[in-house]
Structure 1
Amino acid sequence: MAPPHQRPVLALAIRLLAMALIAGMSALVKLASEAGVHLAEIIFWRQALTLPLLVGALAATRHLGQLRTERIPIHGRRAMLGLIGMFLNLGSVTLLPLAEATTLSFVASLFAVMLSTVLLRERVGAIRWLAVALGFAGVIIITSPGHSTLPALGLATGIGAAFMNALIAIQVRDLGRTERPVTIVFWFSLFSTVLLAAILPFVITHHDTRTWLLLAAIGLSGLAGQLALTAALRLGPVSSVIVMDYTSLFWATLFGWLVWSHLPPASTWAGAPIIIAAGLVIVWRENRLARTKPIGPVAS
């Protein structure tokens, strides 16, 4: 597969669109939860709608062969981790205001540094460790132990979601050595849909037209967001494109204000910039290291 022509400005624009779509999906998930839809059913429709759209697009372009894989067990493990991550990520959205849930998701980059030392045996220097410490100081400011008005379960779910995001990123990084992005998305959707289908009879309820439209919109916006994320990474360098992820806080704050009339408290305004600054330091340092590393074979 020939590498695509790099178009960094377009990549940044697509990544910005992806962040708006994902923030919009989170708002829709919160609305569906408030309408009484069980989280497991929300995730089922989020995943199930991906399959026919993805397979249909590949069949229309005669690219169904891209779904072949020789790493079924690894995809299965990724699906289990991904499902746990989705429950935590979307669970934090239902338990917390959108801005706070989004801010806690930025902690994933801090956990990624910590996990890379254990799972990938990477050496982490003083700069990145200082960034990790700075980021967790921002978390402490937002959570305000003993004084926060945010629910403890929601805060724990949000931090757990960030940890799972970091763990899944390492898993996907390994899969990405041999698999196309569309292959990873397809097998994750297939495995998770099958698992969730077994739970669905116990949680599904009757829905009105508005709720069905919400569920359909969740599936469509989620898939569009995933495809936009992938497209941005193919058109521009990771080190610059991923910085746009922090714009999701703007969209989350905007949707939270428009739909729920919620604006983040002072602790969030104080802690969020610290977490974002720590993440930017890590991205900058990773970029510097990538430029100085010699090109060689990738170790498993």
Structure 2
Amino acid sequence: MANASPDRILLAIGLRLTSVLLFACMNTLIKLSEAGGATIGEILFFRQAGAAAFMVVVLLTGPGLRSVATSRLPAHILRMAMGLSAMALTFATILALPLAESTTIGFTMPIFATILGALVLGEPTGWHRWGAVVLGFVGVLIVAQPGTGHFPLIGALTGLGAALLTAGVSILLRQISRTESITTTVFWFSTLSLVPLGIVYAFAMQPHAPLVWLLLVGIGVIGGAAQLAMTGALRFGPVSVVVPMDYSSLLWATLSGWVVFGVLPDTWTWVGAPVIIASGLYIVWREHVRRRIETDQAVVEG
């Protein structure tokens, strides 16, 4: 990856930006479908059912279903449980908060990834990154303004919980990716999720207007395409280049919130969001520096 060509880097950036746009569209559809009467259980089911169907089509028209055979089913089950819990909390945050605010809270994921990397994996974490962690939580306090009542507490809690679980998934994926391809990981996550979500949907299903059904199907198809584009970007570009593209989602969230729902971020969101973004970007940069130093040392010692 260190020797990736400029063309591949541009492809990686393009894929990641595409995924950001698609996820922003999906989030808008989530709020619209909930406004039309859909429950979060139904939304989750269609999100994963659509993604699973999308993956099956991709596999059948490409490498085939045999290409996703795995000997690490327990690891995929754990990834499914953590990922599905993170997704449920993320959707709950989207429904509880305006799109810009829910997106901003989600930017705390690199902060939690740093904490978990130090505690779980024992990764070296110097004062630079710990300082960025503190700065990131200061940004959260600026956005949420706890005690003032302007920011729903449930939205803040579900958003931070989603970011924590998503960070945990990223740690787990580091282990899984040593033996499993991106396609295999996405396929098993989508299909395994249908087991618990199928049970939930059996109790949550209800009649809807045709437009709501279209919204639910759109959530699944767009979400599946976004997930493939997001993970596929990492095949062509390093994390330090690709991940910062995710912060462009705030622009789409703000635009969608304004055009579709007539809501703009308040002053404190405009103040706190750059603080959280700066924290995340610095963490990504420090990780890039650390890995580059480790690589140089390995070359010298080799």
Q: Shorter-normalised TM-score: what interval? A: over 0.9
Aligned to 2:155: 154
Structure 2 gap ranges (5+):
none
Aligned to 1:48: 49
Aligned to 2:239: 238
TM-score for both structures, normalised by structure 2: 0.94
Q: Secondary structure at 1:49's aligned position in 2?
A: helix
Aligned to 2:194: 193
Counting only pairs closer than 5 Å after superposition, residues 85-124 of structure 1 correspond to structure 2 as 85-124=86-125
Q: Which amino acid aligns with 1:167?
A: G
Q: Secondary structure at 2:263's aligned position in 1?
A: coil
How far apart, in 1, do the equivalents of 2:4 and 2:187 lie? 22
Contact 1:66 1:180 in 2 (8 A): no
How far apart, in 2, do the equivalents of 1:178 and 1:156 lie? 34
Q: Deviations over 1:211-267 (max 9, x none)?
A: 011011101110111111122211212111111000000000000000111111111
Matched, 1:276 2:277: yes
TM-score for both structures, normalised by structure 1: 0.95
Aligned to 1:179: 180
Counting only pairs closer than 5 Å after superposition, residues 124-273 of structure 1 correspond to structure 2 as 124-273=125-274
Identity value in percent: 44
The alpha carbon displacement at 1:4 in A equals 8.2
The alpha carbon displacement at 1:51 in A equals 2.0
Contact 2:54 2:225 in 1 (8 A): no
Q: Deviations over 1:35-93 (max 9, x none)?
A: 11110111101101222321222122243222110111111111111111010011100
The alpha carbon displacement at 1:116 in A equals 0.6
Contact 1:79 1:191 in 2 (8 A): yes
Aligned to 2:10: 9
How far apart, in 1, do the equivalents of 2:4 and 2:194 lie? 31
Contact 1:38 1:203 in 2 (8 A): yes
Q: Which amino acid aligns with 1:249?
A: L
Counting only pairs closer than 5 Å after superposition, residues 281-296 of structure 1 correspond to structure 2 as 281-294=282-295
How far apart, in 2, do the equivalents of 1:96 and 1:245 lie? 19
Tell me how many residue pairs correspond in the alignment: 294
Matched, 1:61 2:57: no
How far apart, in 2, do the equivalents of 1:276 and 1:109 lie? 10
